[in-house]
A and B are shown apart, each in its own frame.
Chain A
């Protein structure tokens, strides 16, 4: 009946030396105890209000007891939170854990630092009704944001120097969309559904809020999934689709996307199985890179130069793997014939000299390596040819020269020409 249980009364009675309190007495005392307690608390609330506080403290209870001419309860003013423990064997009986303290320890302990003395500082809360944006005032954004009232007090919790993180609100639908797309990318990148998803990514107009999430997702997955060929390919397709989408303003996120894209182009190893056609991925990525450069080259002047520098470094470093060289050549080639003419052609001869031992059967026993070298040889041929062809298009009446120009520089490997052509044809 009363919120004070009978057991509590019994325990209190025992604590003051009454061992044989009858049940009836305890039962009839309980309501009265509750009433007195409420009375004290009511007075304590008054004391709290007059101390200009909204949190009740033990001082207030002491103050209330004082008002009633009752001895205050000592020992609770230390300020630390009180640890109540459940008494073993009793359901609703709690006590405060009072650990024994050695007096010697207390005496020998160094004196705690004296608390800082009270001070007053002054600042302008408002000047002619406008709050100046100074550190002493609550941040303006924080005041404006929680307009719906209920969360109003929360902003006050922040300490002085921390800026509020801007909360990015995503609608539920967008969240679902994002989850679905990422799941498709990760698991079922060969399904038709994924193709449709790519189309949706490339055309839907409301996806802009998701762009940061996608960029993060892509860079994250690329760095983690370098062994997973199909995942990488799927990710690159997603990038491609995002780039296609006319409603997305992707420029601010390019700096996050580019590293992962370039990784897919010139990484030493993409995928962990021989069957993985990483050449295709590199070709695709090269096209992707080229399209990015074409689209945003005028916005970011340094984009193409930085990219070409990276690729050229990769190409000219003999220590790099052949796969990396392949990617670099492909990337440069995709950037257009001018780039090839300016950057590849001058380096063609020394590079071929480097490549030569790898191509020959007697010098390179590893078939895989040899295949890779031939692969590079093929793209080099193609890139150089393309470049020269573009150049010569301007001179229509000279039909026989281009072939000659190429063959002249490649005398040494002419014997292998059919193979090369085959490769070319196959692509």
Chain B
């Protein structure tokens, strides 16, 4: 113990000398708690090195040298342990860099960065871009990202042997700088499993330790991802008499089951494990049921009560929806949808977003000149005649003549915003449009009256996205001010404010049962929020760049998210884990949409393609095996290339016709 105290005092003195306040604080915490995952203190060798470290000159070359040695050692290490050891390199790299900057060796920091940053470009290019700009101590303090890196330890799961190897190496080579960095910033979670078994887990290395802890805590919260009780689809089944009596009773049994399970889970102190087990039971139940030779959309999902008071639907609307549901085309991997593509022409690079109404009859475009334009496709058809190319000429010429009077345009022009319109959304019935803009407001427009009804002010920065809830009346918005907000049409103040993202909230999407919203952010996470309480209930970590699009499966069980690099990830909402990443797009995924029975996922991208993915294969596999494994399981069914038109939005109609919209651009 004496030895240890000596060490501590040395360290404390050293840290004080160097002005490492945070580290000093940490050390104190460590001393108080005595609960470090690895016992550094009783290791005499280590103490010696720390001793040595405190005495040695803070030689800048040590970082460069030490890192390059560590790097070559890692690359030449045994294959079995190599990938684990490689994980250590990145945190060591960025912290060494930041150490150098913090000590004021800016020139050296830059050369160090340039020498080694290529190793990490593939995995962490976004972070590196941010860090590259850090050129002085003040930047380090100012930059949020750097702060959070400095304050938190990196968690790395590593197997016992690799850990021993690493320590041995560090001891032998006396590379104190590296040892210092590793001690200060990395938190090893040494496990006794085989080295290969923790290879492909995305959560193995998480840069922001506390965030990860919080995320795993949050992800244990219970969520009810089932569909709403008494939904129209359910009613259709009962009404149509599609269910035989035996099945009905079975369904009832199942619902009883669900109630039971809820009770049990409450009793079990909301243990994630128990719910998961129940889910599995249910899944087995569901697969057993789907094995029957019936092809109707059997909702395996449990029913939940709505937490919001839902608007009442008129009977006519209900009838028309029921009619649509009856006439729905069944889609599967062998029955692909028809795709109708709306091409915007002559936008002069000004189109920021587009949106398609539920039945595809209305198309809205938000422009950077603050205008919102809505096309009625039914009218367009009349005007243009049968041939679309002909129509193009017709409409342009007629507009040319009648343009100045503003009488005969092919679209309805909505003007009111004072900044670029970044998003637009149709209400489920198509009678309202919401648009969000850089002028920080959201505006509600009526397509019947062709007028602005309400202006919702609440955000402090540009509103990136706005989405109507599946039942209408409520809507969610997301903004540069790092919040997402829930609104109802009849109030000009938001009902809920969801705060927690570390950067812009770029996109928002409602869950099928309206009890949750999902938000995607530039901090590369997706969060799921409870609408009623406003709490974050899930954090999905795994994307490597800004998230641009989100979609919820109609059964409420899965979520898809697309990012800037073209990666799409499928998430299981109940576990908070990625089912499988979908690779294929080469550029930004602007839009995602699930088919109405949830068998297909459509994705539209800046690489001018619409891709169709088979979702059933992936979602069934984890049910049976309860393990997310082979990433090839979710297969791309079809790539539909457009003619130099990046795909801006996608929408499945209730009858499963896919609508897509894009802008014809010459320089893609």
Smallest Cβ distance from B435 to chain A, in angstroms? 13
B607 and A123 within 8 A (CB): no
Partner of A122, one of B337, B340, B422: B340
The segment from B229-237, B290-298, B638-646 found at the interface with A is B638-646
Question: Taking the complex as formed, is A38 at the interface, i.e. its CB lies under 8 A from any CB of chain B?
Answer: yes
Note all chain A residues with C-beta closer than 8 A to B347: 118
Note all chain B residues with C-beta closer than 8 A to A157: 644, 668
Question: Taking the complex as formed, is B343 at the interface, i.e. its CB lies under 8 A from any CB of chain A?
Answer: yes
Q: Identify the closest chain B residue to A119 (Cβ).
A: B345
Question: Taking the complex as formed, is B100 at the interface, i.e. its CB lies under 8 A from any CB of chain A?
Answer: no
The secondary structure that dominates the A interface is mixed
Question: Taking the complex as formed, is A367 at the interface, i.e. its CB lies under 8 A from any CB of chain B?
Answer: no
Note all chain B residues with C-beta closer than 8 A to A51: 352, 368, 420, 422
> What interface size band does chain B fall in?
35 or more
Note all chain B residues with C-beta closer than 8 A to A399: none
Chain B contacts with A in 545-562, Cβ cutoff 8 A: 546, 548
Smallest Cβ distance from A6 to chain B, in angstroms? 14
Smallest Cβ distance from A419 to chain B, in angstroms? 77
Note all chain B residues with C-beta closer than 8 A to A142: 641
The docked-state distance in angstroms from the alpha carbon of A135 to that of B343 is 13
Known contacts A126-B338, A136-B643, A137-B643; is-contact A118 B107 (Cβ 8 Å) = no
A117 and B343 within 8 A (CB): no
Partner of A117, one of B335, B409, B422: B409
The segment from B41-49, B582-590, B617-625 found at the interface with A is B582-590
A121 and B391 within 8 A (CB): yes
Known contacts A118-B347, A128-B338; is-contact A50 B464 (Cβ 8 Å) = yes
Question: Taking the complex as formed, is B461 at the interface, i.e. its CB lies under 8 A from any CB of chain A?
Answer: yes
The docked-state distance in angstroms from the alpha carbon of A37 to that of B139 is 13
Smallest Cβ distance from B650 to chain A, in angstroms? 11
The docked-state distance in angstroms from the alpha carbon of A149 to that of B388 is 32
Question: Taking the complex as formed, is B375 at the interface, i.e. its CB lies under 8 A from any CB of chain A?
Answer: yes
B139 and A35 within 8 A (CB): yes
The docked-state distance in angstroms from the alpha carbon of A213 to that of B595 is 52
A156 and B644 within 8 A (CB): yes
Q: Identify the closest chain A residue to B545 (Cβ).
A: A49
Question: Taking the complex as formed, is B385 at the interface, i.e. its CB lies under 8 A from any CB of chain A?
Answer: no
Note all chain B residues with C-beta closer than 8 A to A103: none
B380 and A129 within 8 A (CB): no
B388 and A50 within 8 A (CB): no
Note all chain B residues with C-beta closer than 8 A to A115: 346, 348
Question: Taking the complex as formed, is A39 at the interface, i.e. its CB lies under 8 A from any CB of chain B?
Answer: yes
B643 and A156 within 8 A (CB): yes
The docked-state distance in angstroms from the alpha carbon of A67 to that of B522 is 15
Chain B contacts with A in 629-663, Cβ cutoff 8 A: 637-644, 646, 648, 660-661, 663
Note all chain B residues with C-beta closer than 8 A to A116: 345-346, 396, 400
Q: Identify the closest chain A residue to B462 (Cβ).
A: A67
A120 and B337 within 8 A (CB): no
Question: Taking the complex as formed, is A98 at the interface, i.e. its CB lies under 8 A from any CB of chain B?
Answer: no
Q: Interface code A97-127, partner B: CB below 8 Å = 1, 0 otherwise? A: 0000000000000000011111111111111
The segment from B129-137, B244-252, B299-307, B449-457 found at the interface with A is B129-137
Q: A residues engaging B (CB < 8 A)?
A: 1-2, 31-32, 34-35, 37-39, 42, 46, 49-55, 57, 59, 63, 66-67, 114-131, 135-138, 142-143, 152-153, 155-157, 159-160
The 3 closest A-B pairs by CB, nearest first: A129-B336, A31-B135, A38-B133
Contact sample, A vs B, 16 pairs, CB 8 Å cutoff: A31-B106, A34-B135, A46-B546, A51-B422, A52-B648, A53-B349, A54-B587, A119-B344, A120-B363, A121-B343, A121-B388, A123-B343, A125-B340, A126-B338, A137-B643, A142-B641
Q: B residues engaging A (CB < 8 A)?
A: 106-107, 110, 129-130, 132-136, 139, 335-353, 363, 365, 367-368, 373, 375, 377, 380-381, 384, 388-389, 391-392, 395-396, 399-400, 403, 409-411, 420, 422, 438, 461-462, 464, 480, 504, 506, 522, 546, 548, 564, 586-588, 590, 606-608, 610, 612, 637-644, 646, 648, 660-661, 663, 666-668
